[in-house]
Amino acid sequence: AQTVTQSQPEMSVQEAETVTLSCTYDTSESDYYLFWYKQPPSRQMILVIRQEAYKQQNATENRFSVNFQKAAKSFSLKISDSQLGDAAMYFCAYRSEDSGYALNFGKGTSLLVTP
């Protein structure tokens, strides 16, 4: 079974600064997808960004970008110009072509944004 590891239970960043959340995964498969989901205090989980393993180019969505290192099995999330609304739990998730549509989640990183 694939494992997803988020080694930072909590992170803190000041408003307008940049923060990077770490994620590593373990897999023997070559075709897979990686995701970062955000869960604000209201609890509705939403997708932040998605990366396909066969694409070398790192995904970007506005202030959110990833650093995808396939050989190192690393998938970190960079949040630029942090805003108070970025405060949330962030989950890294993995899905393989062979496992269907179910996601395998990491344990999450709680991000605190200070004024």
Partner 1 sequence: DVKVTQSSRYLVKRTGEKVFLECVQDMDHENMFWYRQDPGLGLRLIYFSYDVKMKEKGDIPEGYSVSREKKERFSLILESASTNQTSMYLCASSPWGAGPSTDTQYFGPGTRLTVL
Q: Which residues bind partner 1 (CB under 8 A)?
A: 1, 6, 9, 33, 35, 42-47, 50, 91, 95, 100-108
β-sheet bridge partners, residue 25: 4
DSSP-derived pairing of the beta strands 10-14 and 109-114: parallel
**Distance in Å, CB of 76 to partner 1, minimum:** 17
Return the number of the residue (19 or 48) whose C-beta is nearest partner 1. 48
Q: How far is the CB of 44 from partner 1 (least distance, A)?
A: 5
Minimum distance of partner 1 from residue 112's CB (angstroms)? 16
Helix, strand or coil for residue 104?
strand
At 31 the three-state DSSP class reads: coil
What tokens does 47 get?
């997708």
